[in-house]
Amino acid sequence: MRYLLEAGGVQKKRHVLFTVILFLMAILLHQSQVILGINISFADFFCLIVFVILIIRNQLDIPTLPLKFFIIVSMFVLATAVIYVPIQFNSNTNPIAIVSDYIKLSASFVYFLIGYNLSKINYLEKTLKWYSLFSILVGILGIIFTIFSINVFSNILFFGGTRFRGLMIDPNYYSVLQITGLVYFTRSKMVEARYKYLAVIITFLAVLTTGSKTGIITLICYLALRLIEYLFLKKKKTGEVVVHLFFIVFLILMAPLPFGIFEKAMYHLSSSIPSFFRIQELLTDITGSISESGSGRGDAWNAAIQVIQLSPFLGVGIGTYTSLTGEMFHYGNLAHNTFLQLFAEWGIPLATCFFGYVFFLLGKVSLFRFHRSETNLILRDIMIIMLVGSMAISLNSARILWLILGALIYSVNSQRINHR
pLDDT at 208 over 80: yes
Q: How many CB atoms lie within 10 A of CB 108?
A: 19
**Tens digit of each residue's pLDDT (9 = 90 or more) over 71-87:** 999 999 999 999 999 99
Q: What is the pLDDT of residue 294?
A: 46
Rounded Cα distance between 214 and 296, Å, is 13
DSSP label of 159: E
Residue 65 has pLDDT above 90, yes or no: yes
pLDDT (mean) for 356-370: 92
CA–CA separation, 342 and 352 (whole Å): 9
The model's pLDDT over 293-339, given as tens digits with 9 standing for 90+, comes to: 445 688 889 999 999 999 999 999 999 998 898 888 878 788 899 99
Q: How confident is the model at residue 102 (pLDDT cuts 50, 70, 90)?
A: very high
Q: What is the DSSP pairing of strand 33-35 with strand 38-40?
A: antiparallel
- Beta bridge pairs of residue 31: 167
Q: How far apart are the first and last CA of the chain?
A: 42
Task: Tell me if 415 sits within 8 A of 371, measured CB to CB.
Answer: yes
Q: Which of 344, 409, 347, 320 is nearest to 73 (CA)?
A: 347
Confidence at 93, pLDDT banded by 50, 70, 90:
confident
Tell me what the mean pLDDT of segment 150-176 comes to.
88
